[in-house]
Structures are given as structure tokens and as C-alpha cells.
Amino acid sequence: MASFSFQIKSGRKGGALGHSRYVARRGYHSARGDLVLSGYGNLPAWADAEPEQFWRAADEHERINGATYRELIVALPNVLIGTPLRPLVEDLICKLIGDRPYQYAVHSPKSSLQGEQNLHMHLMYSDRMPDGFTRSPAQTFARFNPVSPWRGGCRKMSGGRTAMQLRDDLIAMRKLAADIQNAHLAKHGHSVRVDHRSLRDQGISRAPEHHLGPGRIRSMSPQEKEDYIRRREGWQPRGAGASDGGSSEARL
């Protein structure tokens, strides 16, 4: 079973444009050399097909305590790199965020510990739902007017939802992301699968693996790295014959 990782994050006012450049590997971020795919969609006409223009407006006009963007970070199966990758990414975007404005990039850096490819997608999107009304950049991010929608900003998808509802949404999104990946794996003849469930629910008796980070790994001696890898490979689930189905922590 392949490792499954799915994270959702929120961006504060003033941080959207910079994060957009990081995701797209623009400017000094291009030196990372790990960009595989990138793109965008559902931008309003005033953005002129420029994601940076959209995120710049979000930074400027979104309310002080509002999220300028959400971001999904999804680990992707290395076996699907190449021609099968784009259809998988497009399927994930369509089914996970629908019509909301978005920008995405797929990165494939090498892990600091073992040098293996770490294929994953960053999907930035706005919670502001298009509704067919023409708005200026400032009005797009204004407060929604439920009585006269054309007078206010675009409604936020997460607006008015309780913490429990948002939690259920996240669980559903995780399952959907796993189901989509498994469908594409099956389509291309791969037997490997991903599992969105927690390790406990999968019957695996270990704590989730945490992201060490390049700095921590650089500080480890060769013996510490070897011991860590041996422990990782030696972890066994409670059920016979199963393999590690995936930490909920992203190892990015």
C-alpha cells in the first residue's frame, strides 16, 4: 500500500501572492528545480488570466481576519508520474474544489533522507464562489449580501459552517482524494492503493511518522539515518500481510 498524505491549510491576508510564487516556483523559487506541472482556472475576467493578479487583489481587499486562500497539499503516487499524471491532477481539482478560482503546481523534490522522489500537489484556491455576477476586484472580496448578491462580494464556501461540519468536510475530502487516486491506479494497471484512514483505523500499531525537515536530517549522523530508515522499514501493522498505508502527516 502506498503512503497517503492530505493536508489543508489557510493563508492570511498579505500572504497569498508570495505563496502563489512559491507554489508556481517563480522568481528565486525556480532554483528548486522540482516543478513538474502547473496551471490555474476559474479566475474572474478582471484577473486577465494571471493568478498573481488574483492573489494580489485578495491580499489587498480581503478582510483583515479573513483567509485569502485555502491550500490542499496532496501526496501523489510516484508510479503515475508521466502521461497519467495530468488526468489525475485534473480529476482531483475538478472533484475537490469545483468552480472555485485556483492555482496548482506539482512538485517532485528528492527526499533528504533516502533520495526518493516525493511527488505532491499544491492546490491553492479561493473560498469565494463565482455566481455569474460581474464584480470589480474590490467587490469580489467584499462581504456577501444574501438579499442582493450583486451588491456584495462573492459568497465564501465555508461561510456559516460549524466546526463539526468543517471537520466532516475534511474527512470527506480525504476519502475522495484517496478514491480518485485509487481509480487512476487501477485504470493504469497498478495494484498499489492508498488509504485515507488513520493508522489506528487501519490496524497499524505505530504513531504517525512526522516530518523531520531537511535541517534535522542534515544534522543526523550516517548511523542515525541508517537506524531511522531501519525503524521505518521495520514498522509492522497488527494485521498480517498488510503494509504501511500512510501517515496523515505530509513529508514535504
Catalytic residues: 22
Q: What is the Cα–Cα distance from 2 to 14, expressed in whole angstroms?
A: 36
Q: Please name the residues in contact with 58: beta carbons below 8 A apart, sequence gap of 6 or more.
A: 13, 16, 68, 69, 126, 141
Residue type, 51: P
Asked if residues 128 and 66 have their Cβ atoms less than 8 Å apart, the reply is no
What CA–CA distance (Å, rounded) separates 156 from 153? 9
CA nearest neighbour of 156 among 65, 36, 52, 60: 65
**What's the chain's Rg over C-alpha atoms?**
20
Report d(CA 3, CA 236) in Å as an integer: 14
Could you tell me if 91 and 34 are in contact, meaning their C-beta atoms sit under 8 angstroms apart? Answer: no
Q: Is residue 125 within a helix (H) or strand (E), and if so which, with residue range? A: strand 120-125
